[in-house]
Structure 1
Amino acid sequence: MITPCFTCCQTEESLIISIYCPSVRAADVEIHVDETLVSVHINPYFLRLNFSYPLLEDDSSSAQYDPSSGYLTVTLTKENKGQVFDDLDLLAKLLAPRPSVAHPTIEVISESTKQEDEPTAEEYLATKTNALSLEHEREEILAAAKNDWQLPQEVPEPQLSTSLQKYYGFLDIHSGYFRHVAHTENEVNELGPDAETCTRAERRRRRVQHEDKKWDEEHYMADFADDEYIRDLLTWRHPHAQRVDDFQYSEEENATILRLPRKEYLPSSTQTHNLYLALLTLLFSYAYESRTNQLDPTPESAWTISTLVPAFSALDPPDSPAASIADPLKFSWGELAGTFVTSYRRSLAFPLYRSFILAEACRRDVAQFLSGGKRMIVRCLLEMKKILDHHEVYYIYSKVWLDDFCVWVQAHASDDVLVNLGKQVAELQVSKGSIGWRLEALEAATQGLEGRESDSDDDDEDSDDSA
């Protein structure tokens, strides 16, 4: 089945879906409405949309096909007249499957409805088991009281893994993309042929080791001394960093969104927290590439984007352990700083322009992207995806990360969380000392060398004047 191009709009009483399906028979249209779920089938097209509020298929509803334009217009009645349907422009959210019911509904019967009969064998056994459990807890409490309330702790046994295969990508749902990486020209991959079997700890160790190996003090000092071009880059203002009141996706963007996978994501609270952190590294990479090329991609753009994202090059996204997360939708200054330190390090170790002030400008760009909400962020991700999709090797990073991220941001990310996160990123301070490469000492040494060179030039001029 083909997913057709479509748009949605609304009136006070109705929701209108315009579907482009040329060269079809209007008599074959099948429309089914199940509260918030609307299905439209007209061979070879099939469209299933999940709205936020219920709709009705009544006498006021209609479906009209215009063979000259190829558009099928479906008008459905709102169950609650005057109700405003939000996010009708977020196609990925409308196409996302209806959320599954995570937990069954349990009816609790009050004690007053129970009959005073003799307990059954099952009830008798349950009572005895509960009594044993309470007695065991009482013994543990008494033992802890005798030991200054220090409960006994044991080191947990490591879980046995029967496979060397490790998963990676969005929510760790992908594998197999790097099975034949030795036969491709993937200059970004820092794990080599071990990409499919490296543990998370080993990925991080190799990433940090590779960053330290690629760090070049002379390159940094040269860019610090001769920063005229970098200063010009700092004055450029990213068009996506400006607030857009009447935001609309282009036809090309909507076509790309329609080709995205339709999946149901059920992340835990910890995974959701870490997805927002990973999103920061994606946006930083995009900010660096677009700022240094001013939205005019080059043949090196795919390499730059992939290199600067640790989740791409080393399959190592930022993550915070569940024990350290007080609120899944709130972020500490420490973990935000740690996330950006990794991005800063990569921007200072790999690409052409290696400047701390340039990295700071990219962080501020990220804050502006976040303030635009999920619509602006998806636009940034789609532009990254377009660059990677046209590369014969690095397209895999679009498959294992960007496709799912585009869907998740539209369908599940919270605008309030993104805006608040943007405010935190704007106020964040990343110290040069946290990078770990003596940046301040190198800058001071560079300034000292420049001072001595100017003094030498002055001495030569004085000697020429005296002659």
Structure 2
Amino acid sequence: MITPRFSCTQNDTSVIVKVYCPSIRASEVEINVDGQLVVLHVQPYFLRLNFPHPVLEDGQSNAQYDPTSAYLTLTLTKESSGQFFEDLDLLSRLLAPRPTQGEQPPVIEVLDSQDTPSERREASLTSEQQEILQAASNDWQLPQTAPDSLPSLNLTSKKYYGFLDLYTGYFTNIKFSENEVNELNDVESCPLEDRRKLRLQHEEDKWDEEHYMADFADDTFIQELLSWQDDRAEDENSFSDEENMILLRLPRKECMLALFLLRNHLSHDCIDIFDPRQERNIYYNLAALLFAYAYDNRTTMHDPTPESAWTICSLIPAFSALDPPPYGSPDSPAPNITEAQAVSSPSFDETELAATLTQSYRRSLAFPLYRSFSLAEACRRDIAGILSKGKRAAIHRLLEMKHTLDHHEVYYIYSKIWIDDYCVWLQTSGSDEKLQEMAAALSRIKVTKDMIGWDLLELEAATQRSGGSTPDSDDDSDT
């Protein structure tokens, strides 16, 4: 079955769904409305929408098909007139299946031998067969739980990576792909602790004092980049038709967290302890992704070049070394947060956030063409501005990154294992409030030059003594 292209709008009394389904017979359209769930079926299209609030199929509801435009328009009455249906533009969220109700199959008791043959057959079913019968009446959504105490066994040398560590096998033939971003020798068997060591060593090898001092001494063009303003007139609260098509084509993974728990042999009972900390790391890594976007956006003045894909991937530790947050720092180690604190305090820890940005700063000073601490500071302010506008603004930027990477013959792989899932996750689980909270934290934190670990202050002082540069306001404050 094909999921058709669609869009949703609303007014005070109705929800309007426009579905693009060419070459159909209007007489064959089947529509079923069940509270929040609306199912449309017409060969070869199938669309199941789960709205945040109930709708009705009454006298005011109707369906009209325009064969000229090939759009089927459904008008569904709101159960509560005037109620606002949030996130109708987040199409992946509407496509998510209705949560299972957790109802148990009915208990069957044989009272006497006068039961009918069908009743006797039902009574003889195993508990598993009864569960399947119950699931069949509930959209075939079989309930699943991971074993509570399954031992952790490593039966393969492969390691997992990507969003929520859900991927493996994508770099099996890395030696033949000419991937200049990859910093790992054997990606598929390299554990996380070794990835971090290799990444840090690679950064040390690529660090070039003379390059940094040259950019500090002659910063004319960097000053132009610092003064550049991204003044695009765009609507952050809506997506274009092209963006909607991209979002609809994304793989829908409503059970990403469940997959993570299953792969790590964790029970769903652990979710209250596990989820806040893991979710916080997802937000931290989003800041790293947007830092890379902000750097490329500012250095190209929003006109991506053939080098943009390499620049973006090189600046993100989770891409180049499959090494996502959390990070520690010798100068500012991440605090030891207890499980109880992780659950009770959803706020972002500014030390952890600063440690995340420190990795991005280091890479921006070791790899790309323009290596300036002031430029890294400008990127931090840029991502704070993006996140302050909420998840739709973040999705816009991720879609730009996705477009850049998808058109590269090698680096498209990072779009598949990271950006696609981030776009889905932001639509279905991202929080505007948490993004704005992180934006406020990014505006407050201070990444100092001594946190980078490359004696930047001494190098700048030596450059100034040789008459190569005069300190600016940023240089005076970063001690």
Q: TM-score, normalised by structure 2?
A: 0.79
1:43 alignment counterpart: 43
Task: Report the secondary structure of 1:450's partner residue.
Answer: coil
Alpha-carbon shift at residue 445 of structure 1 (Å):
0.4
For residues 440 and 469 of structure 2, the distance between their equivalents in structure 1, rounded to whole angstroms, comes to 43
Deviation, 1:60, is 2.3
1:272 equivalent to 2:279? Answer yes
1:212 to 2:204 alignment = yes
Is this contact kept in 2: 1:33–1:57, CA < 8 A?
yes
CA contact (8 A) 2:13 2:82 kept: yes
* Inter-CA distance 202–328: structure 2 relative to 1 (3 Å threshold): farther
The alignment partner of 2:467 has SS state of helix
How many pairs align?
397
The correspondence of residues 252-267 of structure 1 with structure 2, limited to 5 A, is: 252-265=242-255, 267=257
For each residue in 1:83-117, what CA deviation from the matched residue of structure 2 results, as whole angstroms up to 9, or x when unmatched? 1101111222222333456x779xxxxxxxxxxxx
Q: Distance in 2 between matches of 1:380 and 1:328?
A: 28
Superposition pairs of residues 4-43 of structure 1, within 5 angstroms: 4-43=4-43
Which of 223, 238, 248 is residue 248 of structure 1 equivalent to?
238
Alpha-carbon deviations, 1:12-43, whole Å to 9, x = none?
A: 22111011112211112121222212221222
Structure 2 residue corresponding to 1:287, chosen from 294, 319, 334: 294
Contact residue 97 and residue 262 of structure 1 kept, 8 A: no
The gaps in structure 1 that reach 5 residues or longer are: 106-157, 454-467
Is residue 2:396 matched to residue 1:404?
Answer: no
CA apart distance, 1:6: 1.4
Question: What is the SS of the residue equivalent to 1:2?
Answer: coil
Q: If the length of structure 1 is used for normalisation, what is the TM-score?
A: 0.81
Q: CA deviation at 1:50?
A: 1.6
1:317 is matched with: 324
The one-character-per-residue Cα deviations of 1:398-454 (angstroms, maximum 9, x if unpaired) are 00000000010111111011111101101111010000000000000000111799x
Q: Does 1:360 align with 2:353?
A: no
Higher helix share: 1
**Residue 349 of structure 1 aligns with which residue?**
366
Q: Is the 8 A contact 2:4 2:47 kept in 1?
A: yes
Stretch of structure 1 that moved more, 167-176 or 32-41? 32-41
Q: 1:159 offset after TM fit, Å?
A: 5.4
2:314, 2:355 → 1: CA distance?
18
Contact 2:161 2:168 in 1 (8 A): yes
Aligned twin of 1:202: 194
Residues of 2 paired with 1:33 and 1:89: CA distance? 20
Aligned amino acid, residue 272 of structure 1: E
Q: Distance between the aligned counterparts of 1:246 and 1:362, measured in 2?
A: 19
Q: Is the contact between residue 354 and residue 447 of structure 2 (CA under 8 Å) also seen in structure 1?
A: yes
Task: Give the aligned CA root-mean-square deviation in angstroms.
Answer: 2.1
Deviation at 1:280, TM superposition (A): 0.4
Partner of 1:428: 445
Q: Is the 8 A contact 1:272 1:328 kept in 2?
A: no
What residue identity is the alignment partner of 1:323?
A: T
Q: Which amino acid counterpart does residue 183 of structure 2 have in structure 1? A: E
Deviation of residue 198 (structure 1)?
1.0
Matched, 1:379 2:396: yes
Q: Residue 122 of structure 1 corresponds to which residue in structure 2?
A: none
Query: Which residue of 1 is the match for residue 305 of structure 2?
Result: 298
Give the letter aligned to residue 200 of structure 2.
V
Q: Which runs of 4+ in 1 moved over 4 A?
A: none
CA deviation string 1:173-200 (max 9, x = no partner): 11110011111110001113x1111111
Label 1:32 to 1:104 Cα distance change in 2 as closer, same or farther (>3 A).
closer
Q: Distance in 2 between matches of 1:309 and 1:54?
A: 42
**Residue 209 of structure 1: CA displacement?**
0.8
Is the counterpart of residue 174 in structure 1 residue 181 in structure 2?
no
What corresponds to 1:57 in structure 2? 57
Partners of 2:300 and 2:374 lie apart in 1 by: 17
* Distance verdict in 2 for CA 1:322–1:50, change over 3 Å: farther
Aligned match of 1:161: 154
User: 1 CA distance for matches of 2:427 and 2:228?
Assistant: 28
Aligned partner of 2:179 in structure 1 is: 186
Code of the aligned partner of 2:299: T
Contact 1:340 1:430 in 2 (8 A): yes
Q: CA deviation at 1:345?
A: 0.4
Q: Please, which runs of 5 or more residues in structure 2 have no aligned partner?
A: 105-150, 258-274, 328-335, 471-479
Q: 1:226 to 1:180 in 2, by over 3 A?
A: same
User: 1: CA distance between counterparts of 2:35 and 2:251?
Assistant: 24
Q: Deviations over 1:149-207 (max 9, x none)?
A: xxxxxxxxx95522211111011111110011111110001113x11111111111111
Q: Which has the larger radius of gyration?
A: 1
